[in-house]
Structure 1
C-alpha cells in the first residue's frame, strides 16, 4: 500500500525559555496546524506516534490529549536526534501495513539552555558516566584517537571528524564555514527558523570556537519547538478528495550502526557515515530513484561537517569532494540541488524530537509549491535525512 503526507504543521523553533509555554502547548499548535492543513479532524486519526527525548515517560499522551480525548493508541518514541523521523516511519508503517488509514506523527522538545552532552541525551562535559552510556562506543573511538576535552561532547566528536576529513582530503575551514553561511542565508526567508540572520564566511570563521575547527555559527542550537505530519493511505486520499494536498512517501529506510562504524577507529565513521550511506542505498533501491532524481534535500546538519559528510553518504559527490561541492554553489539556489532551504538545523534550530518531522514539513511545502520566498523552482522529488548518535539514520524520499 502507498502512503501520503496530506497535512503538516510546526511551531516556530525558538531559543529555550523564550516563551512561557509547555511542551503540550507547542504540540497542540503543531498538531492542530497539521490537521487543519489536511482538512480533517482529530477524531479521524487512528494512531499517534509521538517523538521526544527530554520529557518524562508518557509525555506523548499528555501532549496529544490537547488535540482530543478519543482513546486512540499513542506511542512514545525516543531515538536521539533521529526521533522525529522514527515517529514518521512508524506512521508510514501503520499505513502501508494496512493497520490504519490515518495516522498523526508528532514530535516536540522543550529543552534547557546550554550545550548538549553526550550521555543519553544529557548535558555537561563530564566523563564519569560515559562508560555506561548508550554512546560509550562512539566516544571511546574518539577518546582513543583524540583524547577527551572539556568542550561539549557532541561538538568534540563532530569537530574531530572534521579534523580527520581535513587531514585526509584537504577540506578547509572556509569550506566548513560555507555550509553555515549557506544555511543561515536560506533561513532569512523561513518564518519558522530560530535564527533569520545572514552571515558571511568570514563572519562565521570569526565567531567563537566551540571545538576546533567548528565555530558557534556552524553548530545547531538547543531549541524549543514541535512539528507534525498527517500520514494517510491512498484509500483515505481518494475518499476525502485530498489528491491536491498529497505528497507521496515513495520510500523510507532506517539503518543503525554496523561494524564499519567502529572498525576504522575514525570519528567520521562513528558519527554515522556508514549508516547514512546504507539508509540511502536502501531508500534508492526501494524507490527506483537516485540522488540524480532529487531536487531538494533537508539533511541533518547538526554541525557543518555533518552536511559535508552527508553529501558523500548520499552520493552527491565522491568521498573527499564535499568541501568543493558546497564551495561551487551546487547545493544552493541555482545549483544542482538546494540543500536545507529551511536553514537546516544550524539556523532553523534543533528541538530533537521535532527535527525529523520539520524536515518533512519543509519538503511537503516545497513539493506543493507553497514555500514562498524559499521555494525551489520545479521541485518534484525531495529527500530527508535525519540521524541520531547511538545510532539511527533515516532517509525518506518524497514525491509531489
Structure 2
C-alpha cells in the first residue's frame, strides 16, 4: 500500500487529532456544577479548597495552591520569592517558561538540553551569576533533580520546576513530581494529563511561600484591600476545581492507559531505522504528556518531511519545540551561546497523537503509516524535494 503523499489512500478518513482531553463523566456532575452556580460563589471558594486538599494528598506534598493557569503560577512564584537576578531556563521548552521570567523583569540565561532525555542538561548550567534555575520536565519526564540541586546550591540559587507536563510523573526515588525543589508548577490546560479546562497548581513544602502565593493570586490583597505585594488575578474558578476533583479518582487509570499506548508505539516503531525515543531516567516514571520521536538521518527523510507525509495520512503532529526560545523573535535580544543539544532536538523531534481516548487500533495505523513512509523514503524524498 502506497503512502498517501504518493497517491495512496490516507490512513484515516477523518483527521486524527494530536490530543483529546480526558474529562470526568460522573452522572452527578451536572448537578454538582448546578449547585456551585446556585451558591453564587463561583471562584476561589470551597471547591478550590477541596481540590487543593485532594491533590496535595495525591502528590504527597504539604501545600498546593490552585491558580488560574501555569503561566500565572510561575509569574507569581518568582514575584513572591523576590528573585532579583538572572534565571536559568532551558531553551528547549514551551514559551511560557521564559515569558514568566521576563514578565518579572528578570534576565533569562538559556541552558542546553540533553538530546537523549530532552530535559535540561545540568552541565550547561553556569557555575554562578544567577538567582534561580527554572527547569522543565519535558514531555512529562523528570529532570536530573540531584544534579540540578547541586548546581543551584553551589550558586546560592533557588531550584524551581516548570512541571507543566508532569502531573502523575515520579522521580527515580519514587516520589511524585511536585515534591522537589522549592516549588513546582503544574498546568491543567486541555493538553495535559489532568485538565480542569484551564488552571494550574503550585506545590511547595514552604508554608510561608504557600501563604504568600494565596495572597498573590488575589491581587496581593490579604483580605482587607490593602495590597501587600504586586499580585495578579490568578484565582481558579469553582467549576474548574470541581472538574479536577471529579477527575482525580480516574486519573491513575488514565495514566495507565497512556503508558499502554506508549508501549504499543515503541514496540511497533523500535525496528524502524532512524527513529529513537526519549530516555526516561532509570527508576523514574513519565506522565507521557506527549509521545515524541526523534527522526535521525537513517530514517531517510527529515522530521519536517515525515510531518508532511503524516499530514497527507490525516495524522496530526507537532514539532515541540521548534523554534526553541533562543531563536524566537521576542528573545532576539538575549545572548545565547552554542546550544547543540537544543538545536538537535528542535530539528528532529516530532510529537505523535496520544490521549486517554486514543484507540489502540489508531496507534497501530499511525505506526503502519510511518513504516510505509520509511519504506518508500527514497521515492518520497525525490517527490518532495523536486517540488521545493
- TM-score category, normalised to shorter length: under 0.3
Report the structure number with the largest CA radius of gyration. Answer: 2
Q: Higher strand fraction: Structure 1 or Structure 2?
A: 1
TM-score of the aligned structures, taking structure 2 as reference length: 0.22
TM-score of the aligned structures, taking structure 1 as reference length: 0.22
